[in-house]
Structure 1
Amino acid sequence: MPKALWLLVIGMVINVTGASFLWPLNTIFIHQELGKSLSVAGLVLMLNAGAGVIGNLIGGKLFDRVGGYKTILLGITITMVSAFTLALNHSWYYYVVLMIGLGFGSGVTFPSMYAMAGSVWPEGGRKAFNSIYVAQNLGVAVGAALGGLVASIRFDYVFFANGFMYVIFFLVAFFGYKNMKVDTSETGQTNIFDQSVAIENKARFKALIILCVGFITCWIAYVQWQTTISVHTQSLGISLTQYSVIWTVNGALIVLGQPLISALIKKWFHTLKGQIYFGLAIFMVSFFVVAQAEVFVVFVVAMIILTIGEMFVWPAVPTIAHQLAPKGKAGFYQGIVNSVATGGRMIGPFLVGVVVDLFGMQTLFYGLMIFFLIGFVSTYLYDRGLQGTVVQKELNVS
């Protein structure tokens, strides 16, 4: 990997480590420490994610307009200020407002990280996006493990740890990303008066939106591990430290399992579609297992299965978005993908919190297994309008 991508990877690890001190514990804090219901907790997380959706779209556009460096610094500044304010005052109303600030700042940052990864190493293809994905999950593993430990000592310390990691990320970005060069062939402007280009770009955008329909349903299901399932584990007597270990297993497996997954993809999955299909099937199996879970070990097994599925699906979608993006739209397309993922995190907690309050956990788990079928359909349909084009040929290359 080029040096620039290594700097992006290091920044992403630090950023997500900071975020992971807090997000796995959000629902637990709102429900147990602030005394709110699961539905209310889901509403707060929906506001947080909704701000993230807006931040992603703005961040993607800013990348195309002013570049990744300024956009990333803006996003980090917002999250840093929000985090330290939350550390000093996390009463109910402050918590709600500052969670919105954290969501927006994080949303501004992420599209630029992905767009810059694709730009600094265009010949790397999916490897560039996979590197950022692995970095995210290394941050999840470290942050979730430390977050549970810190919270078991005193919950207040989690907020300070969150803000401190954002300070480190700001310093890495400020000194490391300023002179980062991007591939101009990926960011140059197209001729908007060329009718054939306009038609092709419309087909590309339509393909992205169709793909994202399945992507958001996957995230609605996946986010339950961070919200509803976290509370479910508490009701079964599983401690905060054990719950954090589950996420540590997730992040560690993603980092350590990369050689095996890369070998499997190279040997058996010659298209991005096939990679996504397999991952979706694994997702369904994981929710079947968690539906039976009553003890810590079974939850760990379900998380291992879920992690294998996400290792196939999550890196594939931003890779497709990068290949679909016309020149000058790399940031915008990554902004859409990230906003859709954030949208899933926005809708999921509130929608499913209501379902659980009304029908119970078992109905939720089996319903989510069926939900993944939408992902199969959207993956099958998304490139139908690109038949015979150069971009479809790129998508069919592993």
Structure 2
Amino acid sequence: MKNYLNAYFDNFRGFSQEVWVLTLITYINRAGAMVMLFLTKYLHDNLFFNLTQIGWMLFCIGVGALFGNWIGGKLTDRLGFYTVMLGSLFLTGFGIISLMFLYDFVEICIGLFLVTAIADTYKPAMYIAVSNFTNKKNRTRALTLVRLAVNLGIVSGPIIAGLVIQKDNYDMLFWIDGLTCIIAISVFMLLIDESKIYKARRKIHRERKLNKVITTNQKIDINFVIFLFASFLTAFLFFQLFTTIPLYNSDKLKLDEFQIGMLLALNGLLIFLFEMPLIGFLERKTFEATKIILLGSVFMTSGFFFLLFSKSVFILVVSIFLITLGQILLFSFSNSFAFTRAVHGQEGKYMAFYAMSFSAAQILSPKIGFSVIENFNYFSNWLLMGVIGLIGIMLYYKLDKNVRFETLAKEV
């Protein structure tokens, strides 16, 4: 046990102070993002909107996320990640507080769109920030560390939010959510030396020259386009874990809220225990990112095919394990792969497109999944997800093959 713990914590060593600061502010920001967790309940129970109206409001959030990622990438390339991250956190903080003063349907739709768009400019900038303070050897682990902070924030956020709602209703929730953004800004400004940013930019410029895989005169990177489509498909599967699968657990397996929550917690627990050690091991072995991503898509797709035969909790646990393993392999190495495909000076745009593939999947996945279930059944939905997963596997296989040929051509 002691050896495992030592090996486990070894995976958290070797990062710069800036990476740890970025991890900390990401955790603060995600743990404080409480309003969105209880937004549906707030809109229905407190403001008395019907489900159709709430559906449109959630749609505005999805569109805002798409727009925010896109504009965030452009602004990062023009202004740098430091300015974009500070601006995003500052404006998001005041934007969330202002939402508590909106009561009209149209006003709330516009407000949610704007706040989400501003908040999501943070994502491409954060990816670039982490990449600028890492090197090729520890970049994937660093991005995984930030993802771990996001997951921990998602776990602790609902607990804090539930306690706040019980004591002070929803008003305090808006204030805490907004103020955590301001706290994150303060931590960022106090602990990150802005002068190091310019050194990091020069370092990454040299690295890009040595490891360039795309010529700047090439307008379209076909392999990156394939990667984006495949990322969209696998993200489409992933979001089923938090939308249709919990409903299936309740309707078909007759599990109660606590049991459903425990199954969802299994996903977070597996990530917390095994993601960093696994990613550290794979980084040390220097496996090609495309092969790991391909393997991850196989695991995730297998998880949905297992659901076709899910008549017991045991099969469901196996399915969640496979989906989680696929999630770990896919998303950890996809982040770093997207960055390596970026043309120097356009890293923000490339990371924005990558983030947008997830935002689009987040909009469409639950809508299509619930429509299939309502008009057909759960079996049809799992079959559809399996087929979508197989298409994703084929695209990742094509990507791996293309990248191998690309590498051989460079060596010749």
Q: TM-score range by the shorter chain?
A: 0.7 to 0.9
Whether 1:162 and 2:177 are equivalent positions in the alignment is: yes
Picking from 125, 135, 138, the partner of 1:122 is 135
**Other-structure match for 2:190:** 175
Structure 1 CA distance, aligned partners of 2:267 and 2:169? 23
Structure 1 segments unaligned to the other structure (5+ residues): none
**Other-structure match for 1:134:** 148
SS at match of 1:53: helix
CA contact (8 A) 2:216 2:343 kept: no
Aligned residue runs from structure 1 range 1-398, under 5 A: 1-19=15-33, 21-26=34-39, 34=48, 36-37=50-51, 42-89=55-102, 92-123=105-136, 124-147=138-161, 156=170, 158-177=173-192, 179=194, 180-181=196-197, 182-186=200-204, 197-199=215-217, 201-202=218-219, 205-231=221-247, 236=254, 238-239=256-257, 245-262=262-279, 265=282, 270-289=287-306, 302-382=319-399, 388-389=405-406
SS at match of 1:198: coil
CA contact (8 A) 2:145 2:276 kept: no
Structure 2 segments unaligned to the other structure (5+ residues): 1-14
The residue type equivalent to 2:189 in the other structure is F
CA contact (8 A) 1:140 1:248 kept: no
Structure 2 CA distance, aligned partners of 1:119 and 1:270? 22
Moved more, 69-78 or 222-231: 222-231
Cα deviation digits, residues 322-378 of structure 1 (max 9, x gap):
111121122111111111111111222333333333223332222112211121122
CA contact (8 A) 1:280 1:375 kept: yes
SS at match of 2:219: helix
Identity fraction in percent: 20
Structure 2 CA distance, aligned partners of 1:109 and 1:264? 29
Q: Call closer, same or farther: CA 1:386–1:84 in 2, change over 3 Å.
A: same
Structure 1 CA distance, aligned partners of 2:189 and 2:280? 36
Structure 2 CA distance, aligned partners of 1:84 and 1:326? 38
What is the total number of aligned residue pairs between the two structures? 385
Structure 2 CA distance, aligned partners of 1:35 and 1:294? 37
The residue type equivalent to 1:175 in the other structure is L
Moved more, 373-382 or 61-70: 373-382
CA contact (8 A) 1:322 1:330 kept: yes
Structure 2 CA distance, aligned partners of 1:263 and 1:206? 30
| Bigger RCO of structures 1 and 2 (CA < 8 A, at least 6 apart) | 1
Structure 2 CA distance, aligned partners of 1:300 and 1:144? 23
Query: TM-score scaled to structure 2, two decimals?
Result: 0.79
SS at match of 1:326: coil
**Other-structure match for 2:4:** none
> Could you say what the CA RMSD is over the residues aligned between the two structures, in angstroms?
3.6
CA contact (8 A) 1:289 1:302 kept: yes
Q: Call closer, same or farther: CA 1:102–1:373 in 2, change over 3 Å.
A: farther
Query: TM-score scaled to structure 1, two decimals?
Result: 0.81
Q: Call closer, same or farther: CA 1:272–1:99 in 2, change over 3 Å.
A: same
SS at match of 2:323: helix
Q: Call closer, same or farther: CA 1:276–1:32 in 2, change over 3 Å.
A: farther
Q: Give 1:170 deviation, angstroms.
A: 2.6
Q: Give 1:315 deviation, angstroms.
A: 1.3
Q: Call closer, same or farther: CA 1:23–1:289 in 2, change over 3 Å.
A: farther
Q: Call closer, same or farther: CA 1:257–1:387 in 2, change over 3 Å.
A: closer
The residue type equivalent to 2:350 in the other structure is Y
Q: Give 1:121 deviation, angstroms.
A: 1.1
Higher Rg of the two aligned structures: 2
CA contact (8 A) 1:287 1:302 kept: yes
CA contact (8 A) 1:142 1:248 kept: no
CA contact (8 A) 1:141 1:252 kept: no
CA contact (8 A) 2:279 2:332 kept: no
CA contact (8 A) 1:138 1:252 kept: no
Structure 2 CA distance, aligned partners of 1:295 and 1:176? 50
Q: Give 1:115 deviation, angstroms.
A: 0.7
CA contact (8 A) 1:290 1:298 kept: yes
Structure 2 CA distance, aligned partners of 1:208 and 1:348? 22
